[in-house]
Amino acid sequence: MPQLKLNYFDFHGGRAEPARIALHMGGIAFEDHRFAFPEFAEFRKCTPFGQVPTLEVDGVHVTQCDAINRYVGKLAGLYPTDPLQALFCDEVMYVVEEASVRIGPTFRMSGEEQKAARLALVNGSMPVYLAWLQAQLQAHGGEFFADNRLTMADLKVFVDVRGLNSGRLDHVPADLVERVAPALNAHMDRITNLPGVQAYYEQFAAK
């Protein structure tokens, strides 16, 4: 097994969280390198594009969160081997990532500028993404997004919905998912209650 080091901010959520959970659930040893936001200015100098997450595989620095997700998903048995099911898994991950890319610039805003930008998303693309994800979930049986089992797609949606429901995003209503795509909240609850996911978060509660 290669030596793995996953680099990302020190909080629960964001682009590295699906990989963190998958590695933990798969029992795969890795260094979970977390850093505070003020440390990022220095750390980013050693990254390929000045962004995180990155994964170091035997010392080789790899970028792009969904490439990382596919890799660790394969290691952990959470990525489909069937090409069509892998396509369905990738499709969902890319849609969630596209939504993240749209909201990303608002984190560098403040005040009325941020409010206007986020309300535009809440009243525009966000409900479209959420409704599409709900339709995909239902089209694939209602429990999982691909392969009739837990995959990286489920973990990526779980982390995203959990973040939207948290109330930590100013100007994004915490009940947006419930109003637009309630099946995604039911999905989030199912993933939350999986023993492997519970064990992942319990290790932090114990500290």
My answer on whether 120 and 33 are in the same domain is no
My answer on whether 90 and 159 are in the same domain is yes
Domain boundary among 77, 110, 141: 77
Residue 139 is part of a domain; what is its CATH number? 1.20.1050.10
- Residue 73 lies in domain: 4-77
Q: In the numeric block, which tokens belong to residue 73?
A: 């998903």
pLDDT, residue 155, reads: 98
Q: How far apart are the first and last CA of the chain?
A: 28
pLDDT, residue 206, reads: 65
DSSP string for residues in 186-202: HHHHHHHTSHHHHHHHH
Per the structure, the count of domains in the chain is 2
CA-to-CA distance for 79 and 41, rounded, in angstroms? 33
My answer on whether 25 and 108 are in the same domain is no
pLDDT, residue 89, reads: 98
Burial of residue 93 (CB within 10 Å: 0-12, 13-18, 19+) is buried
CA-to-CA distance for 179 and 185, rounded, in angstroms? 10
Give the rounded distance of the alpha carbon of 124 from its chain centre: 21
My answer on whether 95 and 115 are in the same domain is yes
Query: What are the average pLDDT values for consecutive 10-residue runs of the chain, which has 207 residues?
Result: 96 96 98 96 94 97 97 98 98 97 95 97 97 98 98 98 96 97 98 97 82
Residue partners of 4: CB distance under 8 A and separation at least 6: 23, 28, 29, 30, 31, 55, 56, 57, 72
pLDDT, residue 140, reads: 98
My answer on whether 59 and 100 are in the same domain is no
| Continuous segment of H or E residues that includes residue 33 | strand 31-35
pLDDT, residue 123, reads: 97
Residue 47 is part of a domain; what is its CATH number? 3.40.30.10
CA-to-CA distance for 121 and 195, rounded, in angstroms? 34
